[in-house]
Chains A and B, each alone.
Chain A
Amino acid sequence: MSKTITIDGLAVPFQEGQTIMDAALASGVYIPHLCHNPEFKPHGSCKLCTVNVNGRNVASCTMPAVEGQQVLSDIAELNADRLALTQMLFVEGNHLCPACEKTGNCQLQAVAYYLGMMSPHYNHFYPQREADASHPDVMLDRNRCIYCELCVRASREVDGKNVFGLSGRGIKTLLVVNSASGLLGDTDLAVTDKAAHVCPTGAILIKRHGYAVPIGQRVFDHITIKDVQTGGGDE
């Protein structure tokens, strides 16, 4: 006997233990998100997936689905706030979309497309963040990190290695790696690790694979992130 919640007027079934995001994705309802990846424990940090439940805003990736919840998601006000959050992510780092190897395959960029982002709106912070090319197979460019901790979670939960972690606080939060030198090359990260492949932006890149797929033929050049993440683009 399945229970249901309502998302933007649509009845969505769920099973006990599922979050609102789980239920939505299973039913092909897209709620924009960046730090969430169904393969990992929910995190709730990017806040793009914020929805309104019975009058209160909550992160849909961490909020358990409860029978009878009235969820508002695809509404103008929330989409405007999501757009603002996406713009914040762009200005706090140094994102170089036209020159980035991840362009067209980048979830941050794809969410920005989806939300209709036409400008960064806020003044850029231009932070000084270090790139790390010490690893033979994997490039780490902190300029593009959005602190979603997917690499942290993947390394811990799947690879059993704890290669990544966060240090610092507030706007000075920093992605750090598990070595005394602070260099990725001195960690036990392998190119085959899950952690090397989950980054939603171009912060973690596999070396020597540049432009294997030409620009114009990449995932989000053809279908929206909504269709990719809800399976809607395959038809």
Chain B
Amino acid sequence: MQQFEFPDISRILTPILERHGGDASRLLQVLLEVQDVCHFIPSEAIDLIAAHFGVPRVNVEGVVGFYSFLSTHSVGEYRLLFSGNITDQMLGKDELMQYLCNKLWVEPGKVSEDGLVSIGSTSCTGMCDQGPAALINGWPLTKLDHNRLDLIAELIRSRKPVADWPAMLFEVVDNIHRGDVLLGQPFEPGAAIRATLARGAKETLVEVDKSNLRGRGGAGFKTASKWSFCHATIAEEEGGVICDIDGHPERFIVCNADEGEPGTFKDRVLLNSYADLVFEGMTVGARVVGASKGFLYLRGEYRYLLQQLEAVLKCRREAGLLGETILGQMDFSFDIEIHLGAGAYICGEESALIESLEGKRGRPRNRPPFPVTYGYKGRPTVVDNVETFACAAKIAEKGGAWFAAIGTAQSTGTKLISVSGDVARPGIYEYPFGVTVSQILDDCGAEGRPYAVQVSGPSGTTISWKEFERKIAFEDLPTAGALMVFRRKRDLFQVAQNFADFFAHESCGFCTPCRVGTELQKKIMSKIASGYGTASDLEELKRLGHILKTMSHCGLGSSAANPVLDILEKFPDMVESKLKAFAFKPAFDLDGALATARTITGRDDDWAHL
């Protein structure tokens, strides 16, 4: 293809490949670096990388094709991706993107003719409290407005390296408005590990059990059960037990920091300012299940945190809290490696995350077996959310009873809520479980009378103003942590359409119902939005929703219809007002079909229309 541009591809690749060694699970990490240097993955690079890792070329190509941030064609020296979440859209994302496109003479989604710049959209970048946001070559830009875009256009035109751009463009703040046991209390690094060692691993598992801690990623599986399943499983191969070099059975601890659910950004804050707490929770988990190796799977959008997270890990190694013989304990070695994602929401699903960790396409596995028995490289693996590990560290330090006393019976402890949308104070709020939605709305200064709230992102629940007394808890409204607020007059159909587009874009494509169903849903929503919808389309949406929910391979597909079904049920008037007629109407627009001809001929007079 563009081979003439890269005659020295092996010179570029050699240092990258040497740095990563020969383990094919590093494949995605290598590809990210190649993308960085070349602005795409040249065909020759795929050959060389495949040869280096001893895997078929087709596997490497499959990985490149799967992840949004990798590309087989050039995406420009400067690649600007606007965050496409509904909250960014409400803050003017579409208009701002067009503004920048006009300034730089480039069409959205395309590369400028000189190959300098491309401008497009990406899924939520996790900056909803300081949007509209974007990524420039992977680095987050926040609080975009015309002034900032003028400056950015100038920086791009003068070809100034992104590393030399003014720091204020990249400023990401925590916006913590309410803290409780995680965010509001000091933590001494090492305190939880010391308590664990003093108490014993088994006894610590008893404390985690007593705390009734449930996973904070949304599904709410009991953490102690997951840990004890993993501990009980001994990986067998050819009749023998797989052990590491010290004779311990091989198990893994994985921290899921692929915070891709639109509207969620609590893990970003935990990793930015409470990384010690998170890593400590992983280390406690490692002691309990007997793991010697851990991974932090960091979403590509948060790569700006990578360097400082590595620095925290280094500090912890120096303090004897990670590495060999932790705190002098001869039989306790554990270290953490950070893997970067590359723009795939599905990798937040634990088995897809493990596939991605292994350097493959992020496709959810068939279950059973579950990761606790057959996870990373076939070994027992615990995958928990960032916040779950932070809670585990606190429990190890202060005991299970202390934690269980907070929150509700089924939902103990506190929950970090990422609040965005039509509110005066977007940001992070930590509450004991059981808090009502209306309490949160009061605290964050929801403007006027909020109309609807999206709880737990697109895959969660849309609630109307009639339901604001409902409680955030597994008993009522479970949440991974997002709360998007919509004031009266917001077009909720547009909200649901944004979410439908999101799911179609993020479906991994493995199973029929999700691959085709999300796309059909997107097309029908678009048909209604453009004024061609009829009552039969609503029936079709319900029927599709049923198939997505009951036939899909994983949680993405089974929740992809939630926002659409919720607005059909809770805001029927809003949807029906969009319909053109109740009888069937085709989506085909004869006049619209002439638009291309009008563009080509430069005509827009009456005779050019039907």
Contact = CB atoms under 8 A, between A and B. Distances in A.
A177 B547 CA distance: 32
A57 B520 CA distance: 22
Nearest to B43: A180
A146 B511 CA distance: 10
Interface string B32-70: 000000000001101100000000111101101111100
B516 A92 contact: yes
Given A123-B523, A165-B62, A167-B65, A88 B513 contact: yes
Given A91-B516, A92-B516, A92-B519, A168 B65 contact: yes
Contacts of A13: none
B58 A176 contact: yes
Contact of B512 (A42, A85, A172, A177): A85
Given A162-B58, A176-B61, A167 B516 contact: no
Contacts of A44: 366, 511, 553
Contacts of A27: none
Contacts of B552: 47
Interface residues of A, number: 41
Contacts of B553: 44-45, 47, 59
A89 interface: yes
Contacts of B547: 81, 84-85
B551 A171 contact: no
Interface string A75-91: 00000010011001101
A123 B587 contact: yes
B550 A45 contact: no
Contacts of B61: 165, 167, 176
Interface in B283-311: none
Interface string B366-400: 10100000000000000000000000000000000
A177 B58 contact: yes
A19 to B, nearest CB: 10
Contact of B550 (A57, A91, A164, A177): A57
13 contacts: A44-B511, A45-B511, A47-B511, A81-B551, A84-B543, A88-B513, A91-B516, A125-B519, A147-B510, A147-B515, A169-B65, A173-B509, A174-B65
Nearest to B520: A122
B214 interface: no
Interface in A132-182: 146-147, 162-174, 176-180
Contacts of B587: 123
A180 B513 contact: no
B62 A176 contact: yes
Interface residues of B, number: 44
B508 interface: yes
A171 B508 CA distance: 8
B366 A62 contact: yes
Contacts of A168: 65-66, 509
A59 B47 CA distance: 36
A231 to B, nearest CB: 26
Contacts of A163: 58
Interface of A: 42, 44-48, 50, 57, 59, 62, 64, 81, 84-85, 88-89, 91-92, 122-123, 125, 146-147, 162-174, 176-180
B58 A170 contact: no
B508 A169 contact: yes
A89 B516 contact: yes
Interface in B346-371: 361, 366, 368
Contacts of B67: 169
Nearest to B59: A165
Interface stretch (B204-212, B324-332, B404-412, B499-507): B499-507
A166 B517 contact: no
Nearest to B522: A171
B344 interface: yes
Contacts of A89: 512, 516
B509 A50 contact: no
B366 A170 contact: no
Interface string B479-521: 0000000000000000000000000111111111101111110
Given A45-B510, A171-B507, A88 B58 contact: no
Contacts of B44: 180
A147 B509 contact: yes
Given A46-B511, A169-B509, 14 more contacts: A44-B511, A47-B551, A47-B553, A81-B547, A162-B56, A164-B58, A165-B59, A166-B361, A167-B66, A169-B508, A174-B65, A178-B58, A180-B43, A180-B47
Contacts of B366: 42, 44, 59, 62
Interface string B539-551: 0000100110011
Contacts of A88: 512-513, 516-517, 520
Nearest to A57: B550
Contact of B66 (A84, A164, A169): A169
Contact of A171 (B56, B504, B543): B504
B314 to A, nearest CB: 35
Contacts of B368: 64
Nearest to A171: B519
Interface in B546-575: 546-547, 550-553
Contacts of B523: 123
B71 to A, nearest CB: 12
Contacts of B47: 180
B68 to A, nearest CB: 8
B511 to A, nearest CB: 5
Nearest to A88: B516
A38 B337 CA distance: 40
A165 B64 CA distance: 12
Nearest to B514: A170
Given A162-B59, A176-B61, A170 B507 contact: yes
B518 A170 contact: yes
The 9 A-B residue pairs whose C-beta atoms are closest, nearest first, are A167-B65, A165-B58, A173-B509, A162-B56, A88-B516, A178-B58, A170-B507, A62-B366, A171-B519
A176 B551 contact: no
A46 B44 CA distance: 34
A46 B57 CA distance: 26
A170 B43 contact: no
A170 B515 contact: yes
Contacts of A173: 509, 515
B58 A46 contact: no
B59 A171 contact: no
Contacts of B505: 170
A171 B513 contact: no
